[in-house]
Amino acid sequence: MAEIISGRNSVLEALRSEREINRVWFADHLEQGFGQQIMALCKERGIPFSKVDKLQLQKIGGDDNRGVVAEVASAAYVEVEDILALAAHKNEPPLVVILDEVEDPHNLGAIIRTALCAGAHGIVIPKRRSASLNQTVAKISAGAVEHLPVARVSNLCNAVDCLKKQGLWIVGADMDGQTLWDLDLSGPLALVMGSEGQGISKLLKSKCDFIASIPMSGPINSLNVSASAAVLLYEIKRSRQMR
C-alpha cells in the first residue's frame, strides 16, 4: 500500500510544504471554495488531481477522509539535471531510462532495481498516466529507489529534447527496430521504454535516434517491459565495458 494522508488540514499542509506528493483526490461534492483551493495548490506544484465520488474516495482513503486524500511519494523526486550531474560526478557517460506511461508499480520497481544494478544514473517518468514512487515500488525495487534518482516531468518529449542538447543519444525499445547487438550502445544514452499495452507513443518514438529490438524465439513475440529493460540495460553495460 502507498502512504495515504487524508483530512483537510493534513492534505492542505502537505500541499503547502515541500513534501513530495504523487496525486490528490477530492470529493465531487466538496464545497466550491475549499475545492478550488486544493486545485490551485495542485496546479501550482504540478501535482495531478482528480474529482471522485464518495465511494471511490472511501476506497482510497478510508471512511474518515473528510473529502480529500493524498498519496505521498516514498522517495523524493529530482530534476533531470540532477541525474546528469550524478553522471558527471562519477565521470561516466550518462545513462538515463525514460519510461513512457509504465503504469504497473511492480514494473516500475523492477526497472529501478535493474537500472541501479546495471549502472544507470536515473529514471525519468511522466507526472500523468504513470506509476509513482509509492510503497509498492519501493518494496519491489528492494531498496534501489533510495539510491537511484527519479525525475518526474510534465512532458517527456521536452525532457528528451533537453537530453539531446546535453549530447545524449536517444534509443527507443520496439519490436520493429534494429537488433540491439547491431547498435553502438557505449556512449551517452537515454533508453526509452514504452507502456505495457501501447509501447512508445508515436511522437516520442519520432524523437528517438535509434530503435532497438530484442531478438525473439518461439511463439511469444514480446517480453514484459521490466524484462525488456533488463536485457537492454545489460547489453548497454556490456558495450561500455568493451570500449
Q: What is the CATH number of the domain that holds 147?
A: 3.40.1280.10
57 plus 90 within the same structural domain: no
Phi, psi of 177 (to 5 degrees): -90, -175
pLDDT of residue 2: 57
Confidence tier at 225 by pLDDT (50, 70, 90) = very high
pLDDT tier, 54 (very low <50, low <70, confident <90, very high otherwise): confident
pLDDT of residue 135: 80
> Are residues 164 and 110 part of one domain?
yes
Domain limit, last residue, from 49, 72, 95: 72
Last residue of one domain, picked from the residues 28, 55, 72: 72
What is the residue-wise DSSP string for the chain?
Answer: --EEEESHHHHHHHHHSS--EEEEEEETTS-HHHHHHHHHHHHHHT--EEEE-HHHHHHHH-S--TTEEEEEPSS--B-HHHHHHHHHHTT---EEEEESS---HHHHHHHHHHHHHHT--EEEEESSSS--S-HHHHHHTTTGGGTS-EEEES-HHHHHHHHHHTT-EEEEEEEEEEEGGGS---SSEEEEE-BTTTBS-HHHHHT-SEEEE----SS-----HHHHHHHHHHHHHHHHHT-
Q: Judge if 57 and 95 occupy the same domain.
A: no
Report, as an integer, the average pLDDT of 181-200: 92
The parent domain of residue 49 ranges over: 3-72
Residue 202 CA to residue 104 CA, distance in Å, equals 21
Q: pLDDT tens-digit profile of 77-89? A: 999 999 999 999 9
**Do 169 and 99 fall into the same domain?**
yes
Pairing of strands 169-179, 68-72: unpaired
Residues above pLDDT 90, as percent of the chain? 56
State the average pLDDT over residues 115-129. 95
Q: Name which residue leads in pLDDT, 57 or 161.
A: 161
Q: Which of 57, 74, 66 is nearest to 21 (CA)?
A: 74
pLDDT at site 226 = 95
CA 210 – CA 189 distance, rounded (Å)? 11
Q: Which residues pair with 211 in a beta bridge?
A: 172
Check pLDDT > 50 for residue 111.
yes
Residues 67 and 160 placed together within one structural domain of the fold? no
- What's the one-letter identity of residue 133? L
> How confident is the prediction for the chain on average, in pLDDT?
90
Q: Tens of pLDDT along 204-223?
A: 999 999 999 999 887 877 78
Q: What is the pLDDT of residue 1?
A: 46
If asked whether residues 100 and 38 sit together in one domain, one would say no
Instruction: Give the end of a domain, one of 72, 104, 133.
Output: 72
Domain count, the chain: 2
Mean pLDDT of 111-120: 96
